[in-house]
Amino acid sequence: MAGTGFGLIGTGFMGRAHAIALASVAAVFDDIEAPRAACIADADEESAARAARALRFERACGDWRALVADSAVDVVDVCTPNHLHYEMALAALEAGKHVFCEKPLALTVAEAERLARAAQSAGVVHGVGLNYTTNPMIRTAREIVTSGEIGEVLHFSGRYFEDYMASPEAPFTWRCERRLAGSGALADLGSHLINMMHYLVGRPRVLAADTSTAIRERRRPDGVMQVVENEDVARAFIELESGVPATLEISRIATGRKCGLAFDLFGTRGALRFDQERMNELELFTGGEAPGRAGYRTLLAGPAHGDYARFCPAPGHGLGINDLKVIEMHDFIRAVERGERFYPDFDEGLAVQRVMQAIEDAAAEHCRVTLDWTAETS
Amino acid sequence: MAGTGFGLIGTGFMGRAHAIALASVAAVFDDIEAPRAACIADADEESAARAARALRFERACGDWRALVADSAVDVVDVCTPNHLHYEMALAALEAGKHVFCEKPLALTVAEAERLARAAQSAGVVHGVGLNYTTNPMIRTAREIVTSGEIGEVLHFSGRYFEDYMASPEAPFTWRCERRLAGSGALADLGSHLINMMHYLVGRPRVLAADTSTAIRERRRPDGVMQVVENEDVARAFIELESGVPATLEISRIATGRKCGLAFDLFGTRGALRFDQERMNELELFTGGEAPGRAGYRTLLAGPAHGDYARFCPAPGHGLGINDLKVIEMHDFIRAVERGERFYPDFDEGLAVQRVMQAIEDAAAEHCRVTLDWTAETS
Amino acid sequence: MAGTGFGLIGTGFMGRAHAIALASVAAVFDDIEAPRAACIADADEESAARAARALRFERACGDWRALVADSAVDVVDVCTPNHLHYEMALAALEAGKHVFCEKPLALTVAEAERLARAAQSAGVVHGVGLNYTTNPMIRTAREIVTSGEIGEVLHFSGRYFEDYMASPEAPFTWRCERRLAGSGALADLGSHLINMMHYLVGRPRVLAADTSTAIRERRRPDGVMQVVENEDVARAFIELESGVPATLEISRIATGRKCGLAFDLFGTRGALRFDQERMNELELFTGGEAPGRAGYRTLLAGPAHGDYARFCPAPGHGLGINDLKVIEMHDFIRAVERGERFYPDFDEGLAVQRVMQAIEDAAAEHCRVTLDWTAETS
Amino acid sequence: MAGTGFGLIGTGFMGRAHAIALASVAAVFDDIEAPRAACIADADEESAARAARALRFERACGDWRALVADSAVDVVDVCTPNHLHYEMALAALEAGKHVFCEKPLALTVAEAERLARAAQSAGVVHGVGLNYTTNPMIRTAREIVTSGEIGEVLHFSGRYFEDYMASPEAPFTWRCERRLAGSGALADLGSHLINMMHYLVGRPRVLAADTSTAIRERRRPDGVMQVVENEDVARAFIELESGVPATLEISRIATGRKCGLAFDLFGTRGALRFDQERMNELELFTGGEAPGRAGYRTLLAGPAHGDYARFCPAPGHGLGINDLKVIEMHDFIRAVERGERFYPDFDEGLAVQRVMQAIEDAAAEHCRVTLDWTAETS
């Protein structure tokens, strides 16, 4: 049987990460057929051809619509800038393809809703690239939370700090424009943190929020100063559906932080602490120890955690970010092969988008926003 | 010349810490006269006498009013539970004594205002025990911020996490009662964090906030369950007078955290990171390094930082929490000897109380609260 | 042009890691042709066929000699247990193949010498799997040392602590037998640490050493206790050719350590600190900072370090152990394509073996052993 | 009853630390009488008088022999440079005084032996200032080792790294001269590390060692270069009396390290890790956890550890180096009051000196040295 055929649109950071994962996933996981790197599309024929050679794809297209139409393509894998996700994913669904789309799923709730509905109608497998939850240590964290090892959840405090826009000299780019990027730090970073919260402790019932743009103007490549249209910092106080308080704080101007997706999760009998910059470590505190013997312990990634053993039989040797993409790719291919659902899917992509929108609304109106999840498809 | 005479009210945790500082301050700092441990007061004669013997005070009183009246007492040092601060500090001011009062200064803004006015009228030295800012590493942090070493401040994110009420089995105590404690985590922990923010980045102009009580009832010693009257968790989004965003998150149910007063402070050219559980370390990030050579560095406390050299000439040997009380005591005695102001004084105590009140108001009304500092005495 | 054809012998931990690297190397690095997974050999036809399916090899052999003879195989990649390295690598060299051999190169200096000579005569590319030095942070460490950023080297202190034999209940395996494993912790772990020392600070001139076996007998699968024939702990004091002191400490009974290859490297103007358990971090201390501003800083892996940018354009996202194998594989393929030397090659494999032997000799005789490198081929 | 009268000789770093401890010890510990700061001696009357005022001593002497003769002095506390310890401690013992002497006890084994014998004959209380073992976390470490919580001890690996001589520009001082300092890093730092090893895992039976002087000449204040007479780096491989291997590595040229007294202690069922630069933390690994739940945990100093509760009832607030001197002072005063032995006493001071000598001998002769403890007095 031939493996799943991938059609990759986009050859930037994420496109390359997907191509690397595609190449190695079947050597890592033996429970799937080796996928085929069927087609890759880029802005024009030449750059697509160059990418096909570099990333070992069978075919190159200068037009993404040709890729969507290609019968060798089973999965359309959307790795383009944010504002193109909607149109491409929709076209792929309409062509009856399975769709994997990088985050954020769309620029607006309306777009995300339409995609989620279309995905449901199409009856295909759909997924969003919120890959941090594939980390074996995060899967372990979920296991610890859901099994009750740390008791009832009392409080979730999450942060995502990066510094890619911290310098006032960082130029004005598409990321600063509403029309192309949607929100700012919220879309880039917040989407991951919201998904992490959903995955570990559930969805918001009500929230208050605040956004701010510290560096109001940035210089365009042509030297002109232009007003930044979206936020540098976003913050939300959340009451989860469970009643538990959650805090989100997100910044793209956090000088010195490179991938600071971090959280504290406090329970009645224990706690967890995590920082993506040390993605192979999960800190666990458990009560009930002898006096003077309690403390946060560092669980170092090993074969007992999630899919780590697929990569390495020895503990402590460390996975990297691209390995998380391999796990994600594996889970998606397995879902396609077995006709199962994939998580996080477009419904989760929509849920994340709705929380992002609620944060923007609450911040704009200085009021609390209530989220109603009863109409959800899932 | 005889040293400054101290009258200490209260013999608990803080009372003992003050007594220890009183005993050693003049051996550490040679620029003040050795203070006298003139009088100690406790609930009754017997326990006061026992404390006087243990803590080496010259005289013991079963009645704090006698201590206030004692002519050997120059400074009344209030180390009692929160609800007694107001009455005692006021009586001491009215008796013309210098007053040092443990935090929080009072239970309400009205009380704090009256104390701040009385202190001003009395023309004495006044201080509040917000001791974390005496830490040599915090003084270094302030130096770094004010000198511009990390550029313009962009964002302050502060947390104070402890777990003394994290267990649902932790009993109902005076700390759970409005009448005796005022607010909950906010008064115990938040007061320190607010002072830290003031000290490093300034005062709030407007804020939104949220409080929650995760464990709604606790068992009294007599076995009856009683409703907890104040918050376990408090959070605030702040816009500072400078326009910079600040976030505060405070919890007394943060399982596994023992003294987690921590912050990130991001500037345009660098950043600081601190956690009181590692009080001898300050992390500093500076931009402008060669490619691949930038990173958070750990400044380990040493003679180049604040008053460290008074305690030890060698770096890296470590100060402890009681050393911070020694610095505080020294600064207060020096202010008394020289007739200077002490920081943090009752004005700062009042400012902290006003921010605490604004947080409670904003949380209760789900609205933003604006603070007006123009009428301030200082 | 067809890519380099790999013949992989061995399908365990290392075999799988090589297969994963082989699959993804050309998607990561675009300066080489995609290699071919030409042939895989295992103990019998059936397990080889199973491995070929799982790891996507074109052909399977039940006999490794057939693989060596296969004209589609350009590189023989030896991933078998230690005692088989010699025979296989030698046969491959005699067949004129390029050879990559996992560490340790051989069981004895005599074997390693014969291999190094045969490799030189064969005029092929040869390499040993001492992969920790491919880490972008280690390449950065070398850059820092050789550029003089930390001044003259004063002292190297290295450790490699793991706990795979720490439990007295850990069974007797081939690793405990001289005939099959050679030395114990020294071969498994010490070989990496010695190579790290060579790479960063050079070779030993004279050394004293000590080995000990803490758990003298272990239980065989058949229940019989058997005497362990090699060491649990090895230690050496070294004077390097440069005159600088170096210390090595190696243990396979270091309870709680999973991949504790760590070192301190002190120079006259700075220092480095590294621990493989946090392989994405390198700590750098530099003198010459303003008073109170010096400290170890954590360089977090990013595009400025070694080959990191090939994997990810964003800093702080983290590489994993398998990525190090990808770099190693790339460097080897590039050497094959260009007819260049690869490092670490069989000469380095021999040099490591000679240091291991010197440590064993010095420990056995309780005397200092002098190493003479003048006769070296390289 | 009047408290124990202290006569302090020496007003440098250690003298001041003792004076601070003397002032506060009775406020911290209520089971002893408050000691009296009876007399302080310095090189001349004037500087002694100045020190007496600063450090609040009752009397000042320009001649230490007058202090020894002073009937108000019960304890002679020797805080002078190393080469004066012997003469002063001996005179004090001959005068029938209790003696506390800073480390190292003496410059040679012969001197230390004579002091240990004199102390025994005098029937007084005697102690050596090896204060790191008073740390509540070290006392907890000992508890964990002796109770068997981590099983049988397998391996001790200790280091003491500081950088006070790391710069080639650091001048020639008395510390570089045999006659005044005895050995170099070994006396300054090694004495502490040896005592730590004795305290936690016992005494050496046989050892090999190596010393080296990286910076061979240093500049005197008068500008002349002078040959350094003692070692910058010392290392020893030890077989303990229990048969367990121990490693010591000591350096005064460890750039960037300020107080790096650190160890790993591995047992069959767990392990400990400690670094004095984070003196309020002890890392504990315990086996027997559920799969994926084992890891080093950080015990943060609190009331459950050693004497911490005397200083603070709340965990995580941190002790400092001077608090360790307070514990040491308390233990010594209590021993004097009760006529009990103090640990570490002159016998331990001698034992440390003997190990230091064995290290020097083994290093000079490049041979193993066996230590015989059977003739010991204790």
For chain A, report the end-to-end CA distance as a whole number of angstroms.
32
Give the closest residue to A193 by CA, choosing from A257, A262, A277: A262
Does B5-130 match B133-343+352-364 in CATH topology?
A: no
**Can you tell me the distance from the alpha carbon of D5 to that of D39, in angstroms, rounded to the nearest whole number?**
8
Burial of D206 (0-12, 13-18, 19+ CB in 10 A): middle
Q: Which among D168, D172, B280 has a CA at the least distance from the CA of C287? A: D168
Residue A30 and residue A330: Cα distance in Å, rounded?
Answer: 10
Dump pLDDT digits (tens) for D44-87. Answer: 999 999 999 989 899 999 999 999 999 999 999 999 999 999 99
Query: Could you read off the pLDDT of D68-80 as tens digits, one per residue?
Result: 999 999 999 999 9
Looking at residue B378, its pLDDT comes to 46
**Do B161 and A264 contact (CB within 8 A), yes or no?**
yes
- Collect all residues of chain B within an 8 Å Cβ-Cβ radius of residue A367: 366-367
Question: Residue C262 has what pLDDT?
Answer: 98
Cα dihedral sign, A70-A76-A77-A82: positive
pLDDT at A376: 63
Number of CB pairs, chain B paired with chain C, less than 8 A apart: 37
Which DSSP string corresponds to B47-91? HHHHHHHHHT-SEEESSHHHHHH-TT-SEEEE-S-GGGHHHHHHH
Shortest Cα–Cα distance, D312 to chain B (Å): 7
**Is B157–A155 a contact, with Cβ atoms under 8 angstroms apart?**
no
Asked whether the beta carbons of C38 and C72 are under 8 A apart, the reply is: yes
* A250 closest CA partner among A298, A189, A201, A291: A189
ipTM above 0.90, yes or no: yes
- What does the longest C-alpha to C-alpha distance in chain B come to? 68
D374: left (phi over 0), alpha (psi -120 to 50) or beta: alpha
CA distance A128 to chain C (A): 19
* CATH hierarchy code of domain C5-130: 3.40.50.720
d(CA A44, CA A55): 16
User: What was the pLDDT predicted at B13?
Assistant: 86
Taking an 8 Å cut-off on Cβ atoms, the answer to whether D296 and A299 are in contact is: no
In which band, very low, low, confident or very high, does the pLDDT at A308 lie, cut at 50, 70 and 90?
Answer: very high
Residues of C within 8 A of A312 (CB-CB) are 13, 17, 321-322
Facing D34 at nearest CB: one of B56, B164, B323: B56
Distance CA C317, CA C298 (A): 14
DSSP 8-class letter at C190: I
Question: CA–CA separation, C200 vs C218, rounded Å?
Answer: 37
Most A CBs within 10 A among C1, C28, C102, hence the mutation to make, goes to: C28
- Burial (CB count <10 Å: 0-12, 13-18, 19+), residue D222: exposed
Domain boundaries of chain B, sorted by first residue: 5-130, 133-343+352-364
Set of chain C residues whose Cβ sits within 8 Å of the Cβ of A317: 258-259, 320-321
Can you tell me the mean pLDDT for B71-90? 96
- Which long-range CB contacts under 8 A does B141-148 form with residues at least 24 apart? B141/B200, B141/B265, B141/B272, B141/B274, B141/B282, B142/B199, B142/B200, B144/B270, B144/B272, B144/B284, B145/B200, B145/B201, B145/B265, B145/B267, B145/B272
Question: Is pLDDT at B377 greater than 80 in this prediction?
Answer: no
- For the stretch D156-193, pLDDT in tens is 999 999 999 999 999 999 999 999 999 999 999 999 99
Chain D residue at shortest CA distance from C286: D256
Taking the CA of residue B369 as centre, how many other CA atoms within 13 Å lie in the half-sphere pointing to its CB?
A: 21
Secondary structure class of C227 (helix, strand, coil)? strand
* B263: β partners: B158, B274
> Cis (ω within 30 of 0) for the bond into B344?
yes
Q: Do B56 and D320 touch (CB under 8 A)?
A: no
Q: Which segments of chain C have a pLDDT < 50? A: 377-378
Q: How confident is the model at residue A374 (pLDDT cuts 50, 70, 90)?
A: confident
Surface-to-core class of residue D361, CB atoms within 10 Å of its CB (0-12 exposed, 13-18 middle, 19+ buried):
middle
Chains with 3+ CB–CB pairs under 8 A to A are: B, C, D
A81, B188, D342 from A181: Cα distances, Å: 8, 43, 71
3-state secondary structure of B321: helix
Q: In this complex, do D321 and B318 lie within 8 Å of one another by their Cβ atoms?
A: yes
Arithmetic mean of pLDDT, A191-212? 97
pLDDT of residue A208: 96
- A216 within 8 A of A228, measured Cβ to Cβ: yes
Nearest CB to B304 within list C291, C297, C300: C291
- Amino acid at the residue A190: G
CA C310/CA B327 separation, integer angstroms: 52
Token look-up 């997907």 returns: A18
Token digits for B48? 């006061």
- Asked if D277 and B300 come within 8 Å (Cβ–Cβ), the reply is yes
Distance of CA B164 to the CA centre of its chain: 18
Q: Residue A359 has which token pair?
A: 């944060």
Burial of residue B69, with CB atoms counted within 10 A of its CB: 0-12 exposed, 13-18 middle, 19 or more buried: middle
pLDDT tens digits, D351-368: 999 999 999 999 999 999
- Are the C-beta atoms of residues C106 and C353 closer than 8 Å to each other? yes
**Among chain B residues, CA nearest to A369:** B366
Name subunits touching D (3+ CB pairs < 8 A): A, B, C
- Rounded to an integer, the average pLDDT of D118-133 is 96
The span from the CA of D78 to the CA of D64, in Å, is 10
Residue A145 distance to chain D (closest CA, Å): 13
Residues of B in contact with D278 (CB under 8 A): 278
> Inter-chain contact D255–C267, Cβ cutoff 8 Å?
yes
What is the distance in angstroms between the Cα of C94 and the nearest Cα belonging to chain B? 44
What residues of B are in the D interface, CB distance below 8 Å? 13, 16-17, 19-20, 22-24, 26-28, 30, 34, 53-56, 162, 164, 257-260, 276-280, 300, 302, 311-323
Q: Are A312 and C322 inside 8 Å of each other by CB?
A: yes
Q: In Å, how far from its chain's centre is CA B97?
A: 21
Chain C contact probe: residue of A280, A308, A326, A329 with most C CBs at under 10 A? A280
pLDDT at B376: 63
- Gap from A360 CA to chain B (nearest CA, Å): 15
User: Binning pLDDT at 50, 70 and 90, where does residue D376 land?
Assistant: low
Helix (H, G, I), strand (E, B) or coil at A38: strand
Q: Would you state the pLDDT for residue D54?
A: 87
Average pLDDT value over all residues in chain B: 96
CA distance A72 to chain B (A): 43
Residue A309, C-beta contacts closer than 8 angstroms, at least 6 positions apart: A303
Q: Which residues of A touch B249 (CB under 8 A)?
A: 157, 247
Q: Distances from the Cα of D251 to the Cαs of C148, C262, D186, D193, D357, in angstroms?
A: 21, 17, 8, 11, 17
- Predicted pLDDT of residue C54: 87
Q: Of all residues in chain B, what percent carry a pLDDT higher than 70? A: 99
Among D53, D276, D319, the residue with its CB nearest the CB of B320 is D319
Q: Are A284 and D295 within 8 A, CB to CB? A: yes
**Given an 8 Å threshold on Cβ–Cβ distance, is B297 in contact with C292?**
no
Alpha-carbon distance C208 to nearest alpha carbon in chain A (angstroms): 30
**What is the overall mean pLDDT for chain C?**
96
Residue D300 and residue B277: Cβ atoms within 8 Å?
Answer: yes
Q: Do residues A78 and A100 touch, judged by C-beta distance below 8 A?
A: yes
- Residue where the block lists tokens 């050596």: D128
CA D83 to chain centre: 16
- What are the backbone angles phi and psi of residue C319, rounded to the nearest 5°? -100, 165
Locate A119 and state its tokens: 């995905």
The fold for domain D133-343+352-364 equals Dihydrodipicolinate Reductase; domain 2 (3.30.360)
**Residue B281: closest CA among chain C residues belongs to which residue?**
C295
Size of interface A-C (CB pairs under 8 A): 130
Give the pLDDT band of residue D378 (cuts 50, 70, 90).
very low
Question: SS3 sequence, chain D?
Answer: CCCCEEEEECCCHHHHHHHHHHHHHHHHCCCCCCCEEEEEECCCHHHHHHHHHHHCCCEEECCHHHHHHCCCCCEEEECCCHHHHHHHHHHHHHCCCEEEEECCCCCCHHHHHHHHHHHHHHCCCEEEECHHHHCHHHHHHHHHHHCCCCCCEEEEEEEEECCCCCCCCCCCCHHHCHHHHCCCHHHHHHHHHHHHHHHHHCCEEEEEEEEECCCCEEECCCCCEEECCCCCEEEEEEEECCCCEEEEEEECCCCCCCCEEEEEEEECCEEEEEEHHHCCEEEEEECCCCCCCCCEEEEECCCCCCCHHHHCCCCCCCCCHHHHHHHHHHHHHHHHHHCCCCCCCHHHHHHHHHHHHHHHHHHHHCCCEECCCCCCCC
Q: How far apart are CA D20 and CA C96, in angstroms?
A: 76
Chain C: partners with 3+ C-beta pairs within 8 Å: A, B, D
Cis peptide bond N-terminal to A221, omega within 30: no
C337 CA: distance to closest CA in chain B (Å): 30
Q: How far apart, in whole angstroms, are the C-alpha atoms of residue A93 and residue A111?
A: 14
Task: Report CB contact under 8 Å: D245, C210.
Answer: yes
The chain A residues in contact with chain C (CB within 8 A) are 13, 16-17, 19-20, 22-24, 26-28, 30, 34, 53-56, 162, 164, 257-260, 276-280, 300, 302, 311-323
Of B140, B295, B304, the CB nearest to C297: B295
The closest CB to that of D304, out of A292, A299, A304, belongs to A292
